[in-house]
C-alpha cells in the first residue's frame, strides 16, 4: 500500500448515513468505472473477499443444475468451480495443467458439440498459483467462432490494474476482482462488473440470494441499501486515493510499468537458471503474468530461500500454491514473487538483489549476473 493511500484510510470513522457519504461512494463508483474500458457495464462494490466475488457472479447468473465450462490453468479456476458446485451448479473442468494456457481448440470443440446446456464459461485471466496470463480476447474470439451463447465470466483478482483488461472489446459478461492487489487498497472489498446480458440472466437465476443480489445494490431504493449494512467507509477513502493515483499515472502507463518490471524479473530469474535448477514456472514469455511470477527451485531450497528472505532481509515471498500437496516434500520446491500494484524499479531491483543474496546464503546454485540483466531491461525501457 502506498503511503498516501494508508494516510487516506487513516481517518475518524464517519457516519455512513450522513450527507458526506454519498459523495465518497459515488466518486468510488465513477472511479472504478473508469478503469474497466466499458461504456455500459455496471459495477457492484461490496465488503467481501474475492471468494465472495466468485459467489456473487454465480448467484446472479446461474441456477442449480446448470452446467458451466471451466478452463483451468491453476488452483484458482478450481476454487471458483468448487464454489459453483457447492451452489448446485454442475461444473465441467477442462484442466490444462500447471504450465500451460487454455487450449482454444479444445474449448471450441466442446462448445460446438454442446446442445445448449453450458450456461457460462468461467475462467481466470492470471492464475496466481501458476503465474500464467491467459489471453481473454482470444478466448472470447474462440467462443464467438462457435456461435455459443454462454456467458463469459472472468476472474481478474490478480490481474486487474496490472494487466490489460477490456470488458467491452473482449465481450466479458461478468468480471470479478478485489481491492487488495492491483488496486493497492486493504483486503476487504469485492468488485463485480456485469454486462446487460449477465443482468438479464439474473432475472431467472435461482442461485440468487438476498445479500449477493447485485440489482438492488447498484440501484438501491434508498442510499443505505447500497451496501445493505454498515458501509466499509475507510476502504472507500483508500480506494478513492488508489483511483486518483492510477488516474494520474494513466492506466496504459500503469500496465506498461507492470510489463517492464515483469520483464526485469524474468531476465534475472531466467539468467540465474542458466546454471542451476531455478526456473520460471511458465516458459513462454507471452504467457507470463505481469503481476505474479511463480518459481521452481528444484529442491527444498525454495522454502529455505523464502525463509531466508523473510527472516534475514525483510522481504516476503509467496509460498508455492497448488503445485504440490501440503505435506509432500515437493511442497518446498516452489515460491512466488508478487509484483502488483504499488511497485517501481527500485523496489523490484531491491527485491531481486535480496533474492540473489538469499540464493548465495542458502547455497542454491545459480549463474551470477541476474541483477545486471534486470538492470539492463529497466535501463532499456526508460532510456530518453
Query: What are the cell numbers at 198?
Result: 449477465
Identify the helix (H) or strand (E) that includes residue 47.
strand 42-47
How far, in Å, CA of 47 to CA of 41, rounded?
A: 20
Give the residue with the Cβ less far from ligand PLP, 98 or 345: 98
Phi, psi of 270 (to 5 degrees): -60, -40
Minimum gap (Å) between residue 188 Cβ and ligand PLP = 9
User: Which residue's CB is nearer to ligand PLP, number 78 or number 256?
Assistant: 78
Smallest distance, ligand PLP to C-beta of residue 52, A = 7
* Rounded Cα gap, residues 301 and 317, in angstroms: 13
Binding-site size, ligand PLP (CB under 6 A)? 11
Closest approach, Cβ 294 to ligand PLP, in A, equals 12
Closest distance to ligand PLP from the beta carbon of 1 (Å): 16
Least Å from the CB of residue 5 to ligand PLP: 18
Q: Select 132 or 261, whichever has its Cβ closest to ligand PLP.
A: 132
Query: What residue number has its CB nearest to ligand PLP?
Result: 50
- Show the CA angle centred on residue 332, arms to residues 295 and 373, nearest 5°: 25
Count of other CB atoms within 10 angstroms of residue 250? 11
Residue nearer to ligand PLP on the CB measure, 129 or 233: 129
**Buried b / exposed e along 334-346 (16+ C-beta atoms within 10 A):** bbbbbbbbebebe
Residue 96's contacts (CB-CB under 8 Å, 6 or more residues apart) are 71, 72, 73, 102, 103
Nearest approach in angstroms of CB 105 to ligand PLP is 24
| 319: enclosing H helix or E strand | strand 318-319
CA distance linking residue 378 with residue 220, whole number of Å: 48
> Of 33-62, which residues contact ligand PLP (CB under 6 A)?
49-51
Write the CA distances from 149 to 37, 136, 137, integer angstroms: 22, 16, 16
Q: Which residues pair with 151 in a beta bridge?
A: 120
Which residues, 115 to 144, sit near ligand PLP by CB under 6 A?
Answer: 124, 127-128
Which residues from 354-373 bind ligand PLP, rule CB under 6 A?
none
Among 155, 199, 240, 241, binds ligand PLP (CB under 6 A): 155
Q: Which of 89, 150, 158, 192 binds ligand PLP (CB under 6 A)?
A: 158
**Mode of pairing for the β-strands spanning 67-72 and 118-124:** parallel
Residue 161 as a binder of ligand PLP (CB under 6 A): the answer is no
Interface characters, 174-213, with ligand PLP (x: CB under 6 A): ----x-----------------------------------
Nearer to ligand PLP, 33 or 51 (CB): 51
Query: Is 76 among the residues that bind ligand PLP (CB under 6 A)?
Result: yes
Evaluate the CA torsion angle 206, 207, 209, 215 in order and state its sign: negative
Residues in contact with ligand PLP by CB under 6 A are 49-51, 76, 124, 127-128, 155, 157-158, 178
Amino acid at each position: 500500500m502506498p503511503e498516501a493511500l494508508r494516510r487516506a484510510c487513516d481517518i475518524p470513522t464517519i457516519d455512513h448515513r450522513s450527507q458526506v457519504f454519498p459523495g465518497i461512494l459515488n466518486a468510488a463508483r465513477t472511479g472504478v468505472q473508469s478503469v474497466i474500458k466499458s461504456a455500459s457495464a455496471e459495477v457492484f462494490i461490496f465488503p467481501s473477499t474475492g471468494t465472495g466475488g466468485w459467489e456473487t457472479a454465480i448467484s446472479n447468473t446461474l441456477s442449480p443444475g446448470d452446467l458451466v465450462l471451466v478452463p483451468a490453468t491453476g488452483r484458482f479456476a478450481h476454487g471458483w468451480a468448487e464454489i459453483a458446485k457447492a451452489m448446485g451448479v454442475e461444473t465441467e473442468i477442462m484442466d490444462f495443467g500447471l504450465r500451460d494456457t487454455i487450449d482454444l481448440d479444445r474449448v471450441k470443440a466442446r462448445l460446438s458439440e454442446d446442445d445448449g446446456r453450458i450456461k457460462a464459461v468461467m475462467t481466470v485471466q492470471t492464475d496466481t498459483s501458476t503465474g500464467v496470463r491467459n489471453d481473454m480476447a482470444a478466448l472470447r474470439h474462440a467462443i464467438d467462432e462457435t456461435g455459443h451463447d454462454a456467458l463469459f465470466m472472468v476472474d481478474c483478482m490478480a490481474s486487474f490494474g496490472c494487466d490489460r483488461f477490456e470488458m467491452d472489446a473482449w465481450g466479458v459478461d461478468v468480471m470479478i476482482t478485489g481491492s487488495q492487489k492491483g488496486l493497492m487498497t486493504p483486503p476487504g472489498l469485492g468488485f463485480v462488473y456485469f454486462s446487460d446480458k449477465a443482468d438479464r440472466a439474473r432475472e431467472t437465476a435461482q442461485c440468487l440470494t438476498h445479500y449477493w443480489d447485485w440489482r438492488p445494490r447498484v440501484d438501491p431504493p434508498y442510499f443505505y441499501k447500497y451496501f445493505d449494512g454498515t458501509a466499509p467507509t475507510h476502504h472507500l477513502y483508500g480506494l478513492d486515493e488508489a483511483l486518483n493515483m492510477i488516474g494520474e499515472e494513466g492506466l496504459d502507463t500503469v500496465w506498461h510499468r507492470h510489463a517492464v518490471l515483469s520483464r526485469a524479473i524474468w531476465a534475472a530469474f531466467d539468467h540465474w537458471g542458466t546454471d542451476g535448477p531455478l526456473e520460471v514456472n511458465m516458459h513462454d514469455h507471452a504467457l507470463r503474468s505481469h503481476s505474479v511470477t511463480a518459481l521452481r527451485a528444484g529442491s527444498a531450497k525454495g522454502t529455505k530461500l523464502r525463509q531466508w528472505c523473510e527472516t534475514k532481509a525483510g522481504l516476503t515471498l509467496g509460498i508455492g500454491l497448488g503445485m504440490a500437496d501440503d505435506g509432500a516434500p515437493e511442497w518446498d520446491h516452489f515460491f512466488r514473487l508478487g509484483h502488483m500494484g504499488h511497485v517501481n524499479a527500485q523496489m523490484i531491483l531491491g527485491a531481486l538483489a535480496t533474492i540473489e543474496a538469499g540464493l548465495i546464503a542458502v547455497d542454491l546454485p545459480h549463474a551470477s549476473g541476474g541483477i545486471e540483466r534486470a538492470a539492463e531491461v529497466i535501463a532499456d525501457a526508460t532510456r530518453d
